[in-house]
Amino acid sequence: MIELKNVTKRYESLTAVDDVSFTVKPGECFALLGPNGAGKTTIVKMLLDFTRPTSGSLSLSGIPSTLAECRQSVGYLAENHHVPPFLSGWHYLLRCAELLDMNRSEAADHCRRIVELIGMQGRENTKVSTYSKGMVQRFGLGAALMGNPKLLILDEPTSGLDPIGIREIRQLLESLKDQGMTIFLNSHLLSEVEKICDTAAIINRGKLLVKDTISSIVKDGETLEDVFVRLVKG
């Protein structure tokens, strides 16, 4: 589903991503982990073609990341995604659907399905300004799901959320995963990653330290946080 082959990204003298290769298979729930400045967002930006690698290549569903068609089945939720507070959640989703060239009645049918998927039935008609951060994030995820993606790319989906909001997003991601969605997420919340994800990669200063199943990375008696600290501190 996702393949990085010897990807390097330099910003002048800084090597933000250094010869990174890994794959994420269809149906996998994958977390890209690393300390601040490790290169996680730079990898996401290259997958979305917001920036291009200095060398190496990235592909989605076998199609190079530089070609727009590779993102036809991709939903993306940026870190600190903004949902206009003066709209209702329903109107926000409806606007997103209309941007996808659906007519009003198709858009309404589709949005009803999305509202159900994100578990916001009964709350969709109140203004976003009255929502908790977890609810706002659910609507952000709803927008990312609008084009019926097969792959979701989420940059820090639980950033700034309280434990209840974090749990809401986890439950939503678990249900999407059960429906066969491939999920690629950047996160600092290692305990959450351990609960949701099948596989993870840890990068530090642009270099890949490990990419494997969580069960292979985390040995008996350890947590993902223990492994993370051990590998990153070297």
The DSSP result for 102-142, as a single string, is --HHHHHHHHHHHHHHTT-TTTTTSBGGGS-HHHHHHHHHH
- Cα–Cα nearest to 26, from 142, 113, 139, 151: 151
Answer yes or no whether residue 42 interacts with ligand ATP by CB under 6 A: yes
Answer yes or no whether residue 54 interacts with ligand ATP by CB under 6 A: no
Interface segment toward ligand ATP; rule CB under 6 A; list 31-39, 102-110, 207-215, 217-225: 31-39
CB of 185 to ligand ATP, least distance (A): 12
CB of 227 to ligand ATP, least distance (A): 18
Instruction: Using alpha carbons, list the distances in angstroms from residue 130 to 71, 134, 141, 171.
Output: 33, 12, 18, 22
Q: Which of 6, 26, 37, 72 binds ligand ATP (CB under 6 A)?
A: 37
∠ CA 79-81-82, nearest 5°, is: 155
Alpha-helix residue ranges (DSSP H) falling in the chain: 40-47, 89-99, 104-117, 133-144, 163-178, 190-196, 214-217, 224-233
Answer yes or no whether residue 193 interacts with ligand ATP by CB under 6 A: no
Answer yes or no whether residue 40 interacts with ligand ATP by CB under 6 A: yes
Binding mask 1-20 for ligand ATP (x = CB under 6 A): ----------x--x-x----
CB of 100 to ligand ATP, least distance (A): 28
CB of 167 to ligand ATP, least distance (A): 22
Q: How many residues lie near ligand ATP (CB under 6 A)?
A: 11
∠ CA 193-199-205, nearest 5°, is: 80
CB 42 within 8 A of CB 117: no
Answer yes or no whether residue 88 interacts with ligand ATP by CB under 6 A: no
Task: List residues binding ligand ATP (CB under 6 A).
Answer: 11, 14, 16, 34, 36-42
